[in-house]
Amino acid sequence: MFEPFGVLAADEALYRLLLRHPPLDTARLAAAAGRTEAETAPAVERLTELGLVTLLPGAPVRLVAIRPDAAVDQLTMRWQDQVAVARTAATALVADLPVDRRHRPEDQVEILFGRGSVAAAFDRLQRSVRRELLVLDRPPYAQEPAEPNRAELEILARGARVRGLYAPEALEVPGAFDVFEAVVAAGEQARVHTDVPLKLAVADASTAILPFSREAHEMVDSAFVIHEGALLDALVQLFELLWAAAVPVPGAVDAAAEQAADAESDRQLVTLLAAGLKDEAVARRLGVSARTLNRRVSALMHRLGARTRFQAGLQAARDGAFDV
């Protein structure tokens, strides 16, 4: 369980043994583990230094294993501290390089091949986020979304900002809108644009990853990783231009807080229209027939004085109609 944090398997075995026993001194622990006291003492020191084992005063000193969930939290905080130290050291090392060695073209763009390499790079990028993650999202997908991105939820939980810009067709994929609502409810700022040109993720305006191809089967097989430089600056500027022209889309509605079911229904309809979803997708999402949808949209357009359905959703979202 603790191997990813650098804990030796033999040390974890002692920790697990302590979990199943009342407090033991080093000699009794060694006997229970079938080891010598000389072998056990260094392991106890390591476990104590990691905070996985606490010492009870007395003679002899007895050992107690902390709860597993607390142990994971302890190791995670220690790992994060080590990452922060390493990141600071790496930044200082780059600053010490001669200017002509800091921004070499070959260091600004990487090409990754293989699903494992691409997945690992994307995971590293998400874990590196400290201030803001920018995302452009559009189909096709190698597989349909099933649940929110756990790494994104962790980014939001540690106080960083996430801005997601979606193509309308991205929300029409089965299950996608549920995932979309979940991440927005968790804190993501989301907008929809009718012309999202590519998939893109940018961490702290310092590293970006984007697919090598638009083809679904190639998206996870090859990718570009872009580091600081003119190209990355251009990608960030592209995102900001698209973001400024996009339609804000509200998050999940708390139905219990609504005073009337029809107000909630109109709000959800406006959300879907502002997202630019097709009629079939909107009707499926609302659980109504195409005829019922047409009737409701016509009434909404009349109230807003809009000429098209998309204009109705756009106008309502921008004007704050129905509190969206």
The string of pLDDT tens digits covering residues 70-129 is 777 777 777 777 777 777 777 777 667 665 555 555 567 788 888 778 888 888 899 889
Decide if 304 contacts 316 (C-beta within 8 A). Answer: yes
Of 222, 248, 274, which one is at a domain's C-terminal end?
A: 248
Kindly report the length of the chain: 324
Tokens for 78, please give them: 């220690």
- Give the tens place of pLDDT for each residue, 117-172: 888 888 889 988 989 999 998 887 766 666 778 888 889 888 899 999 988 888 77
Would you say residue 253 lies in a domain? no
Per-position DSSP letters for 58-88, written without gaps between them: SSS-EEEEPPHHHHHHHHHHHHHHHHHHHHH
- pLDDT more than 70, % of the chain: 77
**Which structural domain range is residue 84 located in?**
1-96
If asked whether residues 55 and 154 sit together in one domain, one would say no
**Tell me, what's the pLDDT at 203?**
92
The rounded distance, in Å, linking the Cα atoms of 166 and 151 is: 18
The helix (H) or strand (E) run that includes residue 247 is: strand 247-248
If asked whether residues 30 and 84 sit together in one domain, one would say yes
Greatest mean pLDDT among 190-194, 297-301, 316-320: 190-194
As a dihedral over the C-alpha atoms of residue 214, residue 195, residue 190, residue 304, rounded to 10 degrees, the angle is: -150
Neighbours of 320 (CB within 10 A): 8
The rounded distance, in Å, linking the Cα atoms of 17 and 43 is: 13
The rounded distance, in Å, linking the Cα atoms of 183 and 154 is: 11
Of 81, 96, 111, which one is at a domain's C-terminal end?
A: 96
What is the number of domains present in the chain?
3
pTM over 0.85: no
